[in-house]
Structure 1
Amino acid sequence: MMRRAAEINSLHGIPVAAGAPAISHLLFADDSILFTKARLEEADVIRYILNRYEKASGQLVNIDKTTMSFSKGIPLECRDNLARRLGFVVVDEQQASLETLNGTGEPLGSSGGFMDAPLGHNPSYIWRGIVEARKAIQGGLRRRIGDGLTTRVWHDAWLPVTQTGRVISPLVAGYEDLRVADLLVGGNGSWNEELITSLFLPFERERISNIRVSSNRPPDTWAWCGEKDGVFTVKSAYRFLAANGDAEGLKPKNGGNGGRLKRAGDKGWTPPPREFVRVNVDAGVKEGEGVGMGLVCRDEMGRVLWGSSVVQGQSWDPQVAEAAAVLEGIKEAIRFGHKKVILESGCLTVIDALKRKAVGRSIFSLVIDDILALCTSFNSISWSFVSRANNCVAHELAHPVPRVASSFVGSEELPPSVNNAVRFDLSIIQ
């Protein structure tokens, strides 16, 4: 509930660096710390969440042992109003001040502030908890590349699928201040392969080439590598610490499924309503061969209007590949002038993200943003999950043999395996 409230901006946590994910809560074995702005509206949200928790769990919050503290700039009248609204005891937690950060006098997110502030000789309980959480945050933050203008090649953690995210290739003289934007070609979101080859070790060349860059080129931002959407969660921080042998003292609370999705009912492939088209997409990642994406569009009679096999040399994360397949399907639907579209994918995570218009900081979220930005081209667009068994046509197109790109209009040029899948779907609906 805390995470959901933060997602819809009902609560505002503390960002750990400029542009970095905000922390709205820390959950320990026996205690919890909540972070919000000093506003009555957010106090009401906290009270609502605690009431819901009490009703759902049967456990009561011990008000006598619940305390609250404020940063130095909060007026006394505001403190009193918030304390009365929540019924908590106000304590003086000078070291927990979100403005002074243990007496450093530096605001949160400034250079040398939160990440470098020492524990101190007599730290408060809150400050000790924040510093403990910092261990996970430092290791799990990565730069999500948008336009590449603010990410430093040799200094920032921006490489995916590496332990530290930092470049280890030897620094080449004259490139000390290189930005990721300098590795991109023009505005088309492609990498300068010649420059990359001259600067980086082979395995880092591959990592860089596989980073998908949005054609919209949004600003770079910090993302949390422990979650697909790049948003920090306490549970993922615990998993991160556990994987690195440093999880003592941090334990996730019971309850909830961490935002994980339950499989929806399998409706099977069905024709769209009249005047609509149904676009099915699928993606497959094969090591050493990159990504294959299959797209097919059919009308209310089940007739194939168009389709294609798209082959990319990059090796993306499977969910990024599935989202990219949806993006390609949307682009083709626009190109063919469709106005009422039902899009089906076998990736429930992608469909859920599109239905929720999910906001995140990861490469996956960037693709979701690109998809949603194109939806204004339609009079009607909806998203639907379909099992692989009922997504056979798109699946066959995503795994062509031989592995080459192709496209077609109508059903006359369908490959035999694809044609068989189309005929099977028709036999079911007739």
Structure 2
Amino acid sequence: MEALSRMISALVLNGRVSGYSIGPIGGGSMNISHLFFVDDSLFFCEANRNQVQVLKALLLCFEASSGLKVNLDKSKMVPVRSVQNLRQLANTLECKMASLPMTYLGLPLGAASRAASIWDIVIEKVERCLAGWKRMNLSKGERITLIKNTLSNLPTIANAKDISVEEVRVIAGGQIQWNINFSWAANDWEMDSIEALLSLLYSLQNKN
């Protein structure tokens, strides 16, 4: 995927694909043209036929040179705001159409992050992960080792970097609960790590 990343970056540098600019106008902005998640990819361009044709040519070139299959039929074109010629652009790329908000890689995308309902799917995934931990047959020593490794990282992910374990741990009814406030809004690609962290913490029982 490094080769594909370099190819799309070259197109942006030469002005053939614009990407998507985020940040304050006039300084400090960042241009994002693509994001890769294992075998899944996101590409950003303007809603015009020329850029879509360039993107398609890039993907076909990458397919021919790498031997990897680019399945455009399973790809989706997702507009940001209103795009009048979306169907025409999708036909050019020979892909399907979708719209925001949507679910991407099992997580909500494009919805208001403060809406409680959009996090239901995240909660369900964490609950399933917790259920899996309950079925795991780890020895006490193995469980303690995992817990120690995780707890050692709490200062770097907590909202206050000098926070102690005691400040985020609550014992109620013989059960340990964790009150962790992350210092950033989690990204899609971080959710698996966060699920693993929460699963590990809530698998610990208060046994002195």
Structure 1 length as normaliser, TM-score? 0.23
Structure whose CA Rg is larger: 1
Structure 2 length as normaliser, TM-score? 0.46
- Identify, as 1 or 2, the structure richer in helix: 2
